[in-house]
């Protein structure tokens, strides 16, 4: 019986130590398990499921081209995987989420011996191997970045030439990923302009030099045109992070350093998830005195706050399932500072609507934006969304695309300043309220 490659957010064949190890004793059996009980509330959100469905379809085709079949099964991983392995080994990537670590322990206990082998496939480093001076997590990003500024990169790994064939208990269309067609087909717009899967990731990587020309200056453009486009591919493991790190080596120094710093921010988020646990539920820093306003939260979600730079981002998120870093920051800062609403409500919405919603990056970045993470900006720093819009979308082209009603207003960045409609909160008053709640 072949060894099993247990697919866990590493949806690629190349540069994947888990699948290479599984192939050492012959063509491996590729298995993906939908373990709803283990994932609980942290199962992928609606937009992420759309991406996952398309990425799994691409992976299935790649495995079929190598003579094998992607085995899909729903249920408890500890019951499914040892039975499929039949005495062989199970090879998988290591994951930092509490539920995933507990799941791996159960699989190891059920399989017995050392049949479960875990590998570093999604990160540049193992989160538990770096510690602060007193043990536990490294406290700040600056300290973490110094420690991991020159990571040891593994050698590039070719994909296995053959895979094992076996019957699959499930078909991909049986899984709860794509919404029913009767829901309006909203999912068709989520991956527009993207190609989920390893081939799409490799194409993005091949164009990285051109995409990141001037990245140090262009990365804050609100239309997202100055970015790499790698975030969903990294989130779903369609490309190795060390491949992205290497590819940035040919960029001008400023662009290279900024891009690699963002890769390290991703590493830091996973590091803190390993050590701190449920980042989506519990702040690692101090909390503010949050308000409760269902009406304000609903307006924010739907892009109806009356602040064009915020509304453009929220409407783009709903339509495309993705936002630039600057647009995410503006949306998060407005919710947690000007509206003074709990960051967990925003994190939950992003978790459901982003195709690249990451179990580490999403909550960690929300805590940072809310000023209650381990390495926060001071709570008294309240971004002005009007000034941000004017700086990073000076011609208001991005705003016009998603908030077309601004065409009728004299000032598309701050319509109320030229007789247009007022936002749901006075920005100066919202700032004062945020400072008082700190």
The two three-digit tokens of residue 418, written as one number: 């030229």
Q: Is position 155 annotated as part of the catalytic site?
A: no
CA dist 92 and 193 (Å) reads 30
* HSE of 234, CA atoms in CB hemisphere, 13 A: 22
Q: Is position 325 annotated as part of the catalytic site?
A: yes
Nearest to 149, CA basis, from 276, 237, 263, 271: 263
Helix, strand and coil in the chain, % to nearest 5 = 50, 5, 45
Q: Is position 262 annotated as part of the catalytic site?
A: yes
The two three-digit tokens of residue 399, written as one number: 């705003």
Please, are residues 291 and 345 in contact by the beta-carbon 8 Å criterion? no
Q: Is position 253 annotated as part of the catalytic site?
A: no
CA dist 358 and 146 (Å) reads 24
Strand, helix or coil for residue 128: helix
CA dist 354 and 15 (Å) reads 26
Of 187, 198, 238, 262, catalytic: 262
Of 34, 265, 322, 351, catalytic: 265
Of 194, 322, 366, 398, catalytic: 366
Eight-class DSSP state of 9? S
Nearest to 35, CA basis, from 87, 92, 103: 103
CA dist 269 and 348 (Å) reads 17
The two three-digit tokens of residue 254, written as one number: 């400023």
- Element spanning 370, H or E: helix 361-370
Q: Is position 343 annotated as part of the catalytic site?
A: yes
Q: Report H helices in 71-223.
A: 77-85, 98-111, 141-147, 198-206, 208-211, 215-218
Q: Residues 366, 370, 372, 374: is their CA dihedral positive or negative?
A: positive
Eight-class DSSP state of 176? S
Of 325, 361, 362, 384, catalytic: 325
What's the length of the chain? 438
Please, are residues 353 and 407 in contact by the beta-carbon 8 Å criterion? no
List, by residue number, the catalytic residues: 262, 265, 290, 325, 343, 366
């Amino acid at each position: 019986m072949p060894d099993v490659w247990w697919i866990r957010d590493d949806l690629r064949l190349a540069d994947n130590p888990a699948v290479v190890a599984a192939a050492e004793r012959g063509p491996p059996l590729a298995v993906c398990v939908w373990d709803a009980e283990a994932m609980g509330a942290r199962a992928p959100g609606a937009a992420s499921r759309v991406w996952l469905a398309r990425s799994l379809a691409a992976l299935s085709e790649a495995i079929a081209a190598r003579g094998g079949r992607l085995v899909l099964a729903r249920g408890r991983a500890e019951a499914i995987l040892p039975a499929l392995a039949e005495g062989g080994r199970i090879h998988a990537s290591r994951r930092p989420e509490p539920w995933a670590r507990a799941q791996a322990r159960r699989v190891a206990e059920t399989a017995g011996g050392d049949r479960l082998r875990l590998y570093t496939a999604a990160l540049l480093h193992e989160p538990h191997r770096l510690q602060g001076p007193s043990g536990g997590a490294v406290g700040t990003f600056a300290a973490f970045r110094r420690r991991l500024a020159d990571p040891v990169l593994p050698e590039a790994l070719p994909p296995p030439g053959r895979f094992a064939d076996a019957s699959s208990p499930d078909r991909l269309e049986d899984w709860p990923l794509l919404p029913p067609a009767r829901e309006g087909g909203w999912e068709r717009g989520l991956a527009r302009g993207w190609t989920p899967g390893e081939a799409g990731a490799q194409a993005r990587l091949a164009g990285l030099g051109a995409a990141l020309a001037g990245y140090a200056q262009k990365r804050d453009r609100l239309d997202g045109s100055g970015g790499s486009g790698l975030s969903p591919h990294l989130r779903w493991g369609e490309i190795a992070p060390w491949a992205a790190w290497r590819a940035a080596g040919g960029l001008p120094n400023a662009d290279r350093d900024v891009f690699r710093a963002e890769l390290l921010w991703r590493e830091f988020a996973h590091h803190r998830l390993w050590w701190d646990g449920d980042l989506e539920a519990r702040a690692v820093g101090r909390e503010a005195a949050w308000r409760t306003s269902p009406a304000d939260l609903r307006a924010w979600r739907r892009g109806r706050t009356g602040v064009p730079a915020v509304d453009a981002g929220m409407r783009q998120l709903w339509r495309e399932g993705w936002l630039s870093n600057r647009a995410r920051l503006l949306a998060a800062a407005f919710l947690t500072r000007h509206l003074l609403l709990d960051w967990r409500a925003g994190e939950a919405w992003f978790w459901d609507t982003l195709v690249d919603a990451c179990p580490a990056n999403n909550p960690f970045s929300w805590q940072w934006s809310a000023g209650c993470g381990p390495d926060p900006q001071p709570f008294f720093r309240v971004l002005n969304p009007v000034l941000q819009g004017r700086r990073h979308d000076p011609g208001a082209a991005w705003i016009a695309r998603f908030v077309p009603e601004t065409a009728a207003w004299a000032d598309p960045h701050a319509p109320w300043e030229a007789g247009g409609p007022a936002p749901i909160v006075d920005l100066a008053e919202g700032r004062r309220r945020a400072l008082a709640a700190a």
